[in-house]
């Protein structure tokens, strides 16, 4: 049975890479793919994931696009003098792969493609990474609505940050979706801590 998922966030820097790292640390048969990497000055998301999950490099597929500036993909690509082409973004495989998107569902990829168009094309269940803090209900419900309008399967929501029981209840009630886990803020993340978080806080 395939364990493939797309990890999409409700906002920038919400914690998609940490969530992807957690899943890679727990499931040693998973592979990871970040199709579009915007920003190369610091660690890339693939490098962060390998460091946190301690997975072998062979489990990480190379990015289809590596863009210099940490901006929306359409703008970062334009400043690099290229255009992101949808036909270069086919899945490397469909069995046991985590695909981490570049930003949220309505982030532009080029002048005619949004991130959600790629999500629909990949045809995998989506896990939504969202903040636990104030504002998350609106952001999460908007993301859920957008995905459902495209008939994309939602596998669950993962809250990232300090425990907020009321926000979790509201997302489950109004979004008709399961909050399947929570990732608290940790000063120094490492593989054994990610595995413990999964054991303690995921269903």
pLDDT digits (tens, 9 = 90+) for 12-50: 889 999 999 999 999 999 999 999 999 999 899 999 999
Q: Over 70: is that where the pLDDT of 100 sits? A: yes
CB 19 within 8 A of CB 158: yes
What average pLDDT score do residues 66-91 get?
96
191 is catalytic: no
Cα separation, 13 vs 180, in Å, equals 20
What are the residues facing 67 on neighbouring strands?
Answer: 38
Contacts of 33 (CB under 8 A, 6+ apart): 60, 61, 63, 91, 92, 97, 98, 99, 100
Domain containing residue 30: CATH number: 3.40.50.300
Report the SS3 class of residue 31.
strand
Catalytic residue among 3, 16, 34, 86: 34
pTM, rounded to two decimals: 0.95
Domain count, the chain: 1
CB 12 within 8 A of CB 130: no
Q: Over 90: is that where the pLDDT of 77 sits? A: yes
- pLDDT higher for 200 or 1? 200
Q: Over 50: is that where the pLDDT of 193 sits? A: yes
Q: Over 50: is that where the pLDDT of 1 sits? A: no
Domain that holds residue 70: 5-201
């Amino acid at each position: 049975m395939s364990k493939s998922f797309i990890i999409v966030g409700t906002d920038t820097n919400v914690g998609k890479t940490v969530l992807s790292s957690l899943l890679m640390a727990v499931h040693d048969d998973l592979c990871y793919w970040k199709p579009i990497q915007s920003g190369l000055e610091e660690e890339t998301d693939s490098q962060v994931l390998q460091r946190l999950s301690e997975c072998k490099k062979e489990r990480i597929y190379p990015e289809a696009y590596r863009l210099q500036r940490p901006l929306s993909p359409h703008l970062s690509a334009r400043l690099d003098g290229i255009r992101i082409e949808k036909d270069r973004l086919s899945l490397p495989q469909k069995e046991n792969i985590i695909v981490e998107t570049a930003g949220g569902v309505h982030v532009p990829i080029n002048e005619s493609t949004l991130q959600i168009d790629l999500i629909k094309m990949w045809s995998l269940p989506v896990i939504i990474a969202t903040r636990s803090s104030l504002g998350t209900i609106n952001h999460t419900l908007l993301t859920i609505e957008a995905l459902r309008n495209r008939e994309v399967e939602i596998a669950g929501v993962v809250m990232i940050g300090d425990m907020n029981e009321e926000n979790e209840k509201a997302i489950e009630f109004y979004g008709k979706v399961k909050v399947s886990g929570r990732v608290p803020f940790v000063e120094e993340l490492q593989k054994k801590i990610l595995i413990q978080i999964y054991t303690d806080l995921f269903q």
